[in-house]
Amino acid sequence: MTPLALWLTLICIGLLTFAIRLSFITLFGRREIPPFLQSTLRFVPVAVLSAIIFPALFLYGNKFDLSVSNARLIAGVLAAIVAWRTKNVLLTIVVGMVGLWLLQVFVK
């Protein structure tokens, strides 16, 4: 990417993000969101984040890896269990990272 394209990309994302944040504050000024929009928006974070999580865990070098030697998958599942039980962001990340490091050292 050329420097110009890079800067334009960043500015576009910045303006769009600002527009999203300002949207209801300025346009509507009332509490009710149309119900359809509300239920659509509710699914956005879980869908988009899962679409990032799954490939990071299951794919290794663009190849599907479901084996026990896939350290990232095991560490990720471990982290998911911690997230489910504790709802603690920091603890989830610490367990996942330490788990990955240990697996990389011992399961090679």
Partner 1 sequence: MITRHSEFLKGIKAELPILMGVVPFGLIYGVAARSAAIPPLAGQSMSFIVFAGSAQFVTAQLIGAGVPAGIIILTGFIVNLRHALYSASLAPYLKRLNTRWRMLLAYLLTDEAYAVAITHYQQPGDMSRKHWYFLGAGLALWSTWQASTAVGIVLGTQVPASWSLDFALPLTFIALVVPNLKDRAGTAAAATAGIVALLATSLPYKLGLIVATFVGISIGIFLESRYNKRARIHKEEDGTGQIQPVADPTGYTTKEHVEKEGG
Work out how close the CB of 83 gets to partner 1 at its nearest, in angstroms, rounded to a whole number: 4
3-state secondary structure of 44: helix
The span from the CA of 64 to the CA of 74, in Å, is 14
Q: Considering beta carbons, is residue 23 or 69 the nearer one to partner 1?
A: 23
The span from the CA of 64 to the CA of 62, in Å, is 7
Residues engaged in binding partner 1 (CB under 8 A): 1, 3, 5-14, 16-18, 20-26, 28-31, 33, 38-59, 62, 64, 72, 75-76, 79-80, 83-84, 87-90, 92-93, 96-97, 100-101, 104
